[in-house]
Structure 1
């Protein structure tokens, strides 16, 4: 399962072998789409216990023509350098350790390693963390804010989709507010496509007959990504006392995410200038001219983010499966292995 090979790959001419745990789901399918086209990925093992033996194209029509089939698990003799978890909570925390011990790098798209305060993790996920020692070593993988840390990481916690969209728009502005001695208070109204709940959510409100032509808020008592966002504001914007009111909404589209952030009392800070300065050299983040709104159509099916600003309002559009999950995981993988940051990504 990798041995020392994982740490021998440090340049663009190298080739790695990857495995995806939970490959039948929406995030798993997006990971397959990216890794299948990746010039430095020599092979991928897609794992799904429920679909073992069936062609991946049956679950993911975008991969029509692929000869890959789902495996129940990674074969014992497989040489794996990168393991991607696209699984529900508590799976990665139980399995990541053995892959790390074997020399592989782990990229977890679940929430298992996102929060450093495990008391907060327990509050949102209902039970104690099974691998606190790994949680302490993990790196939160929002590349634009933690590139140097990811470059030396073996365990990367891929941020949540809402947390990604909100932090991309919030962190540069919060940093500017803190530098100006102003309090940071944010109201975030966000919408997500139905794929954000996963393939096996089993919820009637996600059915086309229910979601189509409808629009509704949910998690009104609080959304678990709030903890990630506050953690990011403290770590990357020096705002440990930031106030956040975040309300998510269900968008009657399969994929896409849009965040509208109101920075309360931010009259002395140029929101657009803060965003433009922060991301001027980023390949996967586009900041539009002041007063222009991002569009979901510009980012759907890609790993890019599009940002905008008008007055004290910041805006961010991403694909919840792209930059909000699988695309970000592959971007972090590229940084961790020293590959071109956009390799394999639909841009």
Structure 2
């Protein structure tokens, strides 16, 4: 907010962030001169009259190519939609020995609202449908989310931390920090991987060992509520040392719904196979579809763990714009911690301003790019009425 000549100007209140229109990736570096002797020869060719040179082959830009450019803050939805639905189908038809699809709880809820089924029915129906078209395992990313929560809490407990710990599981937050606030926000981000990437590690490492195959022989796709998850999957740190991707393809919920049948009724029979960590969904076991927040309840988890570790503290909770604030305190010992959930670009500005000035009152911030959190991600199926929108929140 600025005051100019008695007029108040309000800026940075729009959650929409326009991607750059021009690519700023540098030109390819010139090839080094070879030390070997080059033999130059002149060849003459006879050109027939009327010969027409063949048209140049079209240039295709893949998602990993886009990541070589740091000019854009977020991905363009239109740029990736058709490409990754096709890639998803090609992956399912590939000759990979094992095919795995991971579903996020936000995607399950969005599909449940769209189909009118319960999240448990959607989990079973989608699992059985995918298996009918060649998928071997359908996994719930909530299992990896519990790992992420535990690691974030361990990071939070480190005594040498200065300033608030900010969750780094939202690719929009990470991208914003890297390109706009590398000195202010980046040092505060938790280095813990997101549930999507931890699921990728579990699938490509743990599952490959159990099955006795190479990680590269597994095709792993994820259904996520966010288009920026596509970018996250192709980051340089989202792969094994040999270059094998943790996640081979990401489709948004709104894309995935075009692949699945309109009627899941024929696929609603729960599994009678032995329950394992990689088949919970087909057993109607769905985690992470409720809680204080729709983005993973990382702040809620930290609060619960602190209440467990410090039973004498009391916790007060209050709502704020696009978020929640938790105040833990003990008057006798003087113990005090403030934990916040902050969603949306306006909260970005608020959090960064406070961190820059050294006046942030929070010790932990669950920060997400989308207003309303992940359940309201740009990749979710758009609500057709206010009632559906309310269910997402």
TM-score class, shorter: under 0.3
TM-score of the pair, normalised by structure 1: 0.26
Normalized per residue, the structure richer in strand is: 1
Q: RCO greater where, 1 or 2, for CA within 8 Å and sep 6 or more?
A: 2
TM-score of the pair, normalised by structure 2: 0.24
